Chains A and B, each alone.
Chain A
Amino acid sequence: MAIDQATVRKIASLARIAISDAEAAAMEGELNGILGWVEQLGEVDVTGVEPMTAVIPNKLRLRDDVIDADPLTGGNRRDDILANAPAPQHGFFGVPKVIE
C-alpha cells in the first residue's frame, strides 16, 4: 500500500523527527520504494507459524534481589549519570517548561 506525504508527516511526528516539506516529498518516494519491496513477504504461506521471539533458545533470568547487586548499574551514581546531560540543573536533568 503506497503512502502519501501526509502519512510521511504523520510517521515523522510519531517518530519525533522534524521534517520539512521538501524532506517529506523526498522521503515519500524512498519509503514507498522500500515498502513496495518488503510487501513480497505477503506471498509467504505462514499458516500455523509462530512469530519468532528468541533466535537462540534461552531462559530468562532474574538477578539476586539485593540492593546494588552490581555497583556499576546500582544506585548512587548521580554525577556519572548527569555527566553527559546537555543541561543538568541542581542534580537533575533540565528540560523546557512542560506545565504552564
Chain B
Amino acid sequence: MTDLTNLTVAQIRDGHRAGDFSAVEVAEAFSANVAGAKALNAFIVETPEHALAAAKQADADRAAGTLKPLSGVPIGMKDLFATNGVQTTAASHMLEGFVPRYESTVSQKLWDAGAGMLGKLNLDQFAMGSSNETSYFGNVISPWRRKDGGNAALAPGGSSGGSSSAIAARLCPAATGTDTGGSIRQPAAFTGISGIKPTYGRCSRWGIVAFASSLDQAGPMARDVRDCAIMLENMAGFDPKDATSLDLPVPDWEAALSSDLKGKTVGIPKEYRLEGIDPDIDAMWEAGIAMLKDAGAEVVEISLPHTKYALPAYYIIAPAEASSNLARYDGVRYGLRDLPDGAGLQDMYAATRADGFGPEVKRRIMIGTYVLSAGFYDAYYTQAQKVRTLISRDFTAAFESCDVILAPTAPSAAFGLGEKTADPLAMYLNDVFAVPASLAGLPAMSVPAALNREGLPLGLQIIGRAFDEQGVLNAGLAIEERAGFTARVEKWW
C-alpha cells in the first residue's frame, strides 16, 4: 500500500473523494509520523484527536455526499494562530499556558473547509528570527543534512521553521505560515518546499499574535505550487474584524493554474546581484531564467534602485511596530505574571517582561522603543517610512515593464544551528531578498529549484503585482515543472 504521508494535499483530497482510502487512515498515518519525530522539535503541541475528529467527519461527509474543499486533509498550524481550547504561545514563555477562548479567522476558515489539525507548530519567538533559534520551546531541527557525512544540525529557516521542517519530513502535507519579512519564503527555501505570502490584506490577521501589523501576512506552505493554491483559497477572504482586510473575492487560483507564460515578461532586478554571492545561488538563478524563457516568457533586466535600503528600513519599521504591539504583555490580562515580593504595578510590568521575553524579542522592543522616542522619531521612523514609499515606487515602476520578478529567495542554503546567533546583524542579512516585497505588501513565493554542492535545497522567489497571486503561482508552476525537484530527506530521526 502507498505511504499516505507521501501524498500531496491535492492527492489526499482527490484520493479520499474517489474512495481510495479513508480520511481516518490519512490522519492516523500523519499523526504517527508526528509522534515519531520528537527529535525535530517541530511541534509545540500535538493534537491527534483534532485531526481524527475532522477525519471522521470527512468520512461521514463523503458517505453523505457533502464533501468540503479540504475534507480529509490534516494540516499543521503555526503556533502564532489562536486556536480555541488549544494552547497558543507564539513560542514564548510570556504566553506559555495561554489557551484562547476564540479561533483565528484563518484557522477557522481551514476547519470550515474540512481540514483537521495535527498540532501547533514551533516557530521563532513572536515570529522574530530567521532560523527558529529564538523559540522558548527549543530549536527546530531541519530534516535535511549536508552530504558531507557530518551530522551537523541545520536551521529549518524562520520564523515558520516548525512548518517547514514538518512538511519536509512528511509530518504534515501542508501548514500555515506567517511572513513579516520572509518568514514563509526563507524557511520554504531552506527545506525544499513551496510557500506563498499573498498580497497584504488577503488573509485576515484577526487572531494571529501580532508582530509588525503593517507587514504581517499569513500564507500557506506545502510541497508544491498546486497545494499552495488550494490552501490559500481556503485561508484568504474578507474579514470585517481586520481593518486592513481586503474586501475582494477570492479567485479560483487552483483552477486557473497554467505554466504557459507566453506573452508574459519576467523582470530580473540588477540590484539583487550581490557581489561575492554564493556561486550555487547565482547558477540556480540563471537556470531559473532559462526555465521561464522555456515556458514562453520574455526576460528583461529591471532596476529596483532602493533595494539596499530595504533591510535597514525594515529593521526600524518592524521593531517600532513590535514595541507597540508587544506593549500588551503586562502581566495583568493574560499570559505570564512575575510579581516580586513587595513590587508595585510598574515593577510587576518590568519583571514580567524581563522574564517573559527572550533576548531577540527584547532587542527588537528596545530598538523600536528608541526609534519611536521623542527626539529620534523623525530621524529614524519617519525616514524609514519615506524610504518604504520609495521602495514601493520602485516596484510600481518596474511592473510597468514586467509581469513578475524572479530572484533568489535567500542568499545562502540552510546554515548550521548556532552559526549566526552570535551576531544579530548577520542573521538579519539572511532576509535581504525577502524583505523588499514585504515592505511593498506584494505577493511573493518561494519554490524549490536546485540542490547546492552540499546537497541542500535552494529556492527561487517570484514577486508579483499586488493582487496577482495567480501570476506568481503560474510562474512558480513553470519553474516547478522544469526544475524537476524531487530530492527528499532520508529519515534519520
CA distance A56 to B202 in the complex (A): 10
- For A41, give its contact among B363, B384, B423 (CB under 8 Å): B384
Most buried by A among B327, B330, B367: B367
- Shortest CB distance A9–B (Å): 11
Contact status B392-A95, CB under 8 Å: no
- For B333, give its contact among A52, A58, A93 (CB under 8 Å): A93
- For A44, give its contact among B247, B387, B428 (CB under 8 Å): B387
Q: Scan A19-45; emit 1 where CB is below 8 A from any B CB, else 0.
A: 100000001001101110111111010
CA distance A50 to B354 in the complex (A): 37
Indicate whether A84 sits within 8 Å of B344 (C-beta atoms), given known contacts A30-B424, A56-B199.
no
CA distance A63 to B315 in the complex (A): 34
Contact status A55-B306, CB under 8 Å: no
- Shortest CB distance A63–B (Å): 6
Contact status B390-A49, CB under 8 Å: yes
Give every chain B residue within 8 A of A33 (Cβ-Cβ): 423-425
- For A98, give its contact among B344, B354, B362, B388 (CB under 8 Å): B344
A91 touches B (CB below 8 Å): no
- Shortest CB distance B397–A (Å): 14
Give every chain B residue within 8 A of A41 (Cβ-Cβ): 309, 312-313, 316, 380, 383-384, 387
Contact status B102-A72, CB under 8 Å: yes
Contact status B387-A50, CB under 8 Å: no
Give every chain B residue within 8 A of A19 (Cβ-Cβ): 354
Give every chain A residue within 8 A of B215 (Cβ-Cβ): 55
B70 touches A (CB below 8 Å): no
Contact status B312-A52, CB under 8 Å: no
Contact status B370-A50, CB under 8 Å: no
B30 touches A (CB below 8 Å): no
A3 touches B (CB below 8 Å): yes
Give every chain B residue within 8 A of A93 (Cβ-Cβ): 332-333
Give every chain B residue within 8 A of A73 (Cβ-Cβ): 241
- Shortest CB distance A69–B (Å): 9
Contact status A27-B366, CB under 8 Å: yes
Contact status A60-B370, CB under 8 Å: no
CA distance A41 to B309 in the complex (A): 6
CA distance A44 to B350 in the complex (A): 37
B385 touches A (CB below 8 Å): yes
CA distance A98 to B350 in the complex (A): 15
CA distance A18 to B338 in the complex (A): 11
B331 touches A (CB below 8 Å): yes
- For A84, give its contact among B99, B351, B369 (CB under 8 Å): B99
Indicate whether A85 sits within 8 Å of B332 (C-beta atoms), given known contacts A51-B389, A96-B343.
yes
A16 touches B (CB below 8 Å): yes
Give every chain A residue within 8 A of B244 (Cβ-Cβ): 54, 56, 58
CA distance A42 to B347 in the complex (A): 37
- Shortest CB distance B312–A (Å): 4
Give every chain B residue within 8 A of A18 (Cβ-Cβ): 347, 350-351, 353-354
- For B425, give its contact among A11, A34, A60 (CB under 8 Å): A34
B162 touches A (CB below 8 Å): no
- Shortest CB distance A67–B (Å): 16
CA distance A38 to B337 in the complex (A): 34
- Shortest CB distance A21–B (Å): 13
B373 touches A (CB below 8 Å): yes
- For B353, give its contact among A15, A80, A96 (CB under 8 Å): A15
Give every chain A residue within 8 A of B351 (Cβ-Cβ): 18
Indicate whether A37 sits within 8 Å of B425 (C-beta atoms), given known contacts A17-B350, A44-B390, A56-B200.
yes
8 Å CB interface, B238-276 against A: 240-241, 243-244, 246-247
CA distance A84 to B328 in the complex (A): 14
CA distance A97 to B247 in the complex (A): 46
CA distance A16 to B332 in the complex (A): 14
Indicate whether A44 sits within 8 Å of B369 (C-beta atoms), given known contacts A93-B333, A95-B332.
no
Contact status A52-B388, CB under 8 Å: yes
A87 touches B (CB below 8 Å): yes
Residues of B in contact with A (beta carbons under 8 Å apart) = 98-102, 199-201, 214-215, 240-241, 243-244, 246-247, 306, 308-309, 312-313, 315-316, 323, 327, 330-337, 339, 343-351, 353-354, 357, 362-363, 365-367, 369-370, 373, 379-380, 382-390, 392, 423-425, 428, 439-441, 466
Residues of A in contact with B (beta carbons under 8 Å apart) = 3, 7-8, 11-19, 27, 30-31, 33-35, 37-42, 44, 46, 49-56, 58, 60-61, 63, 70, 72-73, 77, 80-81, 83-87, 93, 95-98
Question: Which 8 residue pairs across A and B have the least CB separation, nearest first?
Answer: A51-B385, A55-B441, A86-B337, A84-B334, A18-B350, A18-B354, A80-B101, A46-B386
Given contact pairs A38-B312, A56-B246, A61-B243, a sample of 16 additional A-B residue pairs in the complex whose CB atoms are under 8 Å apart: A7-B370, A11-B369, A15-B323, A16-B346, A17-B350, A30-B424, A33-B425, A34-B363, A34-B425, A40-B312, A41-B380, A42-B383, A50-B389, A52-B392, A56-B244, A96-B345
